Amino acid sequence: MEAQTLSPGLLHGIEYSAPPLAERVWVGVKRHAISLMLDEREVYTFDPSGRLWMAFIDGVNYKRGLDGRMVCKWITPDGARRLRGLTTEEADIVLRWAHQMALQATGAYPDGADPICRQYLERACEWDVQAHHRDARRFLQIYKPVSILPPDQYLAVVLQVTEGCHWNRCTFCDFYRDRRFAIKTPDELREHIARVQDYFGDTLRLRNRIFLADANALVAPQRILVPLLQIVRDTFPIEPTDLTGEELNRWRERHPVRFQGMYSFIDAFTGYRKSVQELRELQQLGVRRVYIGVETGCEPLLRFLRKPQSNEEVLQLVDALKEAGISVGIIVLLGAGGDRYAEAHVRETVALLNRLPWSKGDILYFSELIEPYAGEYTQLAQEAGIRPLTPEQMGRQRQEMEGSLHLPPGVQRATYDIREFVY
């Protein structure tokens, strides 16, 4: 790995020799992170407070969440992509190693060299294994586990305006089975926000989006939701969409800490459906994009998945969102229904996706059904004699869908691998 690959957005950087730790040590400070690279074999990335965030050791990438969970991924010699979660003991080894490297790199830091790099490196030295554990416990006192986010929202500030999923019965999803659905009161939300602000401290300014969690925060009735979003908006300045040029520059100068908008999951089947006018009110409060788990356009498969939505409801919701000026992220579940539904899943999902009023700024996500994570689904599929698709078959399913889609320019297509998620 070349030092240059770490350099976009670099604010401060220094390279020095420090045998036996490494021939060359490179320290880089960016707005979002501090990187420490040892020769070309190891890279450690810490957040600006000094918490370990990512590491690259012996060809394996590690990523740590604020709740202490760590995932790693690597490429096998035959080119296959592998990924798994680490046990606490394994994660501790990575934390200990990263801390040791930070200590040694600081010990070898040249006298008189860039004090900013040194200062940031010293912050990483304050974070031993126990400090990381204490911090994870603190995080989990503020948040219910952040079960999942859309991949483009991994760096958002999560606010749990609601907890859990009001439906919580889709067979393939057990993200929120550990909690009851609840909507925070205004006072509870204010307290939650204060604790979130206290936890993130200065690093809050590095997160430029607000994600309204959990599974379907916008399901709350409008008369309850609007005051909650107003509290969010009063606390976190949201960049206005109706300013341009000098006016926008002046607004930005007045708001050095600002956010692009609010984002959230939404479902298409909720009993209380929002009108265009209500969605427009949410847009004016700062909601910029919502994510819809469409899963499939095959309605019998939806029933098998126990997801109570219809294609017409998806269409109506996306139409209304577009009219209100809100972008969408649409999630398709590759492999759903295994071999039994494979053909209908592709055909009817393509038909549905091609009817949606896509526009620039929308995202189409392809998410593979991960069987060990799939809750009741695996058992029900086995009982029904359904064979799961292999990763290769799911890859082909995606290719078939993509090959028949007619999406306008500016609509991104991306992979949504739930196993990669840590917050």
**Binder among 33, 94, 173, 292 for ligand SF4 (CB under 6 A):** 173
CB of 3 to ligand SF4, least distance (A): 42
Q: How many residues bind ligand SF4 (CB under 6 A)?
A: 12
Closest CA relative to residue 155, chosen from 217, 207, 102: 207
CB 121 within 8 A of CB 108: no
Does 368 interact with ligand SF4 (rule: CB under 6 A)? Answer: no
Structure tokens at 10: 């670099």
Residue type, 305: L
Which residues, other chains included, contact 216 with Cβ-Cβ below 8 Å and sequence gap of 6+?
Answer: 162, 165, 166, 167, 264, 265, 266, 267, 270
CA end-to-end distance (rounded Å), the chain: 26
Stretch that binds ligand SF4, among 14-22, 97-105, 165-173, 366-374 (CB under 6 A): 165-173
17 vs 74: CA distance, rounded Å: 28
Does 168 interact with ligand SF4 (rule: CB under 6 A)? Answer: yes
Does 293 interact with ligand SF4 (rule: CB under 6 A)? Answer: yes
329 vs 73: CA distance, rounded Å: 25
Does 336 interact with ligand SF4 (rule: CB under 6 A)? Answer: no
Does 330 interact with ligand SF4 (rule: CB under 6 A)? Answer: no
Stretch that binds ligand SF4, among 168-176, 251-259, 296-304, 334-342 (CB under 6 A): 168-176
Nearer to ligand SF4, 173 or 353 (CB): 173
CA dihedral of residues 264, 324, 282, 206 (deg, nearest 10): 50
Does 304 interact with ligand SF4 (rule: CB under 6 A)? Answer: no
CB of 379 to ligand SF4, least distance (A): 16
Sign of CA dihedral 195, 200, 204, 210: negative
Closest CA relative to residue 292, chosen from 324, 327, 331, 319: 331
**Binder among 53, 143, 167, 358 for ligand SF4 (CB under 6 A):** 167
Which residues, other chains included, contact 324 with Cβ-Cβ below 8 Å and sequence gap of 6+?
Answer: 276, 279, 280, 282, 283
Nearer to ligand SF4, 32 or 179 (CB): 179
Does 175 interact with ligand SF4 (rule: CB under 6 A)? Answer: yes
Nearer to ligand SF4, 176 or 366 (CB): 176
Stretch that binds ligand SF4, among 173-181, 252-260, 282-290, 394-402 (CB under 6 A): 173-181
225 vs 290: CA distance, rounded Å: 15
**Binder among 215, 228, 330, 352 for ligand SF4 (CB under 6 A):** 215
DSSP string for residues in 284-310: HHTEEEEEEEEE-S-HHHHHHTT----
Does 171 interact with ligand SF4 (rule: CB under 6 A)? Answer: no
**Binder among 267, 348, 362, 368 for ligand SF4 (CB under 6 A):** 267
CB of 162 to ligand SF4, least distance (A): 11
Stretch that binds ligand SF4, among 87-95, 138-146, 166-174, 401-409 (CB under 6 A): 166-174
Stretch that binds ligand SF4, among 18-26, 42-50, 136-144, 162-170 (CB under 6 A): 162-170
Question: What is residue 367's DSSP assignment?
Answer: E
Which residues, other chains included, contact 173 with Cβ-Cβ below 8 Å and sequence gap of 6+?
Answer: 165, 374, 375
CB of 198 to ligand SF4, least distance (A): 29
CB atoms within 10 A of CB 276: 14
CB of 308 to ligand SF4, least distance (A): 9
Nearer to ligand SF4, 168 or 241 (CB): 168
Sign of CA dihedral 9, 29, 46, 200: negative
Which residues, other chains included, contact 266 with Cβ-Cβ below 8 Å and sequence gap of 6+?
Answer: 216, 218, 219, 290, 291, 292, 317
**Binder among 149, 165, 193, 292 for ligand SF4 (CB under 6 A):** 165
Residue type, 419: R
**Binder among 170, 287, 318, 369 for ligand SF4 (CB under 6 A):** 170
Structure tokens at 299: 């309605």
Stretch that binds ligand SF4, among 28-36, 90-98, 167-175, 219-227 (CB under 6 A): 167-175
Which residues of this protein are in contact with ligand SF4, per CB under 6 A? 165, 167-170, 173, 175-176, 215, 267, 293, 307
